[in-house]
C-alpha cells in the first residue's frame, strides 16, 4: 500500500519531468521563432513571385481554351493546368415529381437520394449521371469550365498556409 509521502515524491518527480519537457519545447519554439525572423521575409517575397506567376499562367490558360480541347488538362513541369468541368448546380421544378421519378428510376436505392422529409438531396443527386438527371426532370445549370492549376507539391502549400497563418509570425516580424 502506498503512503502519501511516496505519492508526493512521485508527484514531485512528474512535475520536474514536465518542467524539463516544457523548457526543452520552449527552446524549440525559440529556435523556430529565430528561424522565422531570419527567413520569413524571403518566404513572403517568394510567395509573392509565385502568386504573380500563377496569375500570369492563369491568364494565359484562360485566353487559350482551344489548346485544351483534347486533352483538357496537361502536366507541365509538375504543374497540372487546363480546364475542368465544374460541378453544375442542380435545379428541378417540383420536389414531389422528382421524388416519384427517382423512386421509379432507382427503386429502393432512391431513399439514399431523398431526405426523410421527402425532399430531394441535391448533394446526392450530383452523383447521378446526366442522363438519369434528365430522365427525372432535373436541369443542370452553371456547369461551366473553369481554369484549373494544381501543383504536385501539396505539402509545400500546406506548410506555407501554416507558416503565414500563424498569429505569432506577425509578432515575430514586427
pLDDT digits (tens, 9 = 90+) for 84-127: 988 889 999 999 999 999 999 999 999 899 887 788 998 999 99
pTM, to two decimals: 0.56
User: How many CB atoms are located within 10 Å of the residue 81 CB?
Assistant: 20
Contacts 24+ apart (CB under 8 A), 54-59: 54/149, 57/81, 57/149, 58/147, 58/149
Bridge partners for 140 per DSSP: 90
Phi, psi of 72 (to 5 degrees): -75, -25
Amino acid at each position: 500500500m502506498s503512503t502519501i509521502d511516496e505519492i508526493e515524491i512521485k508527484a514531485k518527480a512528474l512535475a520536474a519531468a514536465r518542467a524539463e519537457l516544457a523548457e526543452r519545447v520552449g527552446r524549440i519554439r525559440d529556435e523556430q521563432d529565430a528561424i522565422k525572423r531570419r527567413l520569413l521575409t524571403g518566404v513572403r517575397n517568394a510567395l509573392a513571385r509565385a502568386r504573380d506567376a500563377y496569375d500570369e499562367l492563369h491568364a494565359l490558360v484562360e485566353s487559350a481554351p482551344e489548346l485544351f480541347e483534347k486533352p483538357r488538362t496537361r502536366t507541365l513541369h509538375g504543374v497540372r493546368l487546363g480546364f475542368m468541368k465544374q460541378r453544375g448546380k442542380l435545379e428541378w421544378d417540383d420536389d414531389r415529381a422528382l421524388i416519384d421519378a427517382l423512386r421509379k428510376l432507382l427503386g429502393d436505392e432512391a431513399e439514399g437520394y431523398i431526405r426523410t422529409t421527402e425532399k430531394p438531396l441535391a448533394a446526392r443527386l450530383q452523383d447521378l449521371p446526366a442522363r438519369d438527371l434528365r430522365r427525372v426532370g432535373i436541369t443542370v445549370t452553371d456547369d461551366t469550365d473553369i481554369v484549373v492549376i494544381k501543383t504536385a507539391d501539396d505539402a509545400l502549400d500546406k506548410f506555407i498556409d501554416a507558416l503565414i497563418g500563424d498569429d505569432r509570425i506577425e509578432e515575430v516580424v514586427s
